[in-house]
């Protein structure tokens, strides 16, 4: 399967623990986007990354959240000291080098974080 792969699919954490969500983009895609879906809400943009660069992190909460997309390996969304309000589905999407005016995003199936 050459699609966008996210893991884990489900993650349970207690308040104060760390959550790490991984995303492997489609082969040949160098652009990665993270979105969050809170209960009963739509997809909210968090961050856009290219290899080794954060391009737009305007949707990331100022504290506890960070993202990276290293030269080798998957993109990682890291949430430190999780709180119950972080419980959500986190979706990763990738795109090839073409821009959003001509190319669509390819989504993974999401990682569902539950904070107890």
Partner 1 sequence: ILNVEQSPQSLHVQEGDSTNFTCSFPSSNFYALHWYRWETAKSPEALFVMTLNGDEKKKGRISATLNTKEGYSYLYIKGSQPEDSATYLCASPQGAQKLVFGQGTRLTINP
Angstrom distance (rounded) from CA 49 to CA 33: 6
3-class SS of residue 86: helix
Angstrom distance (rounded) from CA 46 to CA 44: 6
Among 54, 66, 107, 114, binds partner 1 (CB under 8 A): 107
CB 40 to partner 1: min, Å: 10
Among 7, 20, 22, 43, binds partner 1 (CB under 8 A): 43
Work out whether 25 is an interface residue with partner 1 (CB under 8 A): no
Among 1, 58, 62, 63, binds partner 1 (CB under 8 A): 58
Q: Give helix then strand counts, H and E, for the chain.
A: 0, 11
Work out whether 73 is an interface residue with partner 1 (CB under 8 A): no
What is the residue whose two structure tokens read 């960070």? 66
Residue 76 in contact with residue 61, Cβ under 8 Å? Answer: no
DSSP 8-state class, residue 25: P
Triad 60, 66, 71: Cα angle to 5°: 120
> How big is the site for partner 1, counted in residues (CB under 8 A)?
27
CB 72 to partner 1: min, Å: 24
Of 45 and 64, which CB lies nearer to partner 1 in the complex structure? 45
Where on the chain is the footprint of partner 1 (CB under 8 A)? 3-4, 33, 35, 41-45, 48, 55-56, 58-59, 91, 99-110
């Amino acid at each position: 399967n050459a699609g966008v792969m996210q893991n884990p699919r489900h993650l349970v954490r207690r308040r104060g623990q760390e959550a790490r969500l991984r995303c492997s983009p489609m082969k040949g895609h160098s652009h990665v986007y993270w979105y969050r879906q809170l209960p009963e809400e739509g997809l909210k943009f968090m961050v856009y990354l290219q290899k080794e660069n954060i391009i737009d992190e305007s949707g990331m909460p100022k504290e506890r959240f960070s993202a990276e997309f290293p030269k080798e390996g998957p993109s990682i969304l890291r949430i430190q000291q999780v709180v119950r309000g972080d419980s959500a589905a986190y979706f990763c999407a990738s795109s090839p080098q073409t821009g959003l005016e001509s190319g669509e995003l390819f989504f993974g199936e999401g990682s569902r974080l539950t904070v107890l």
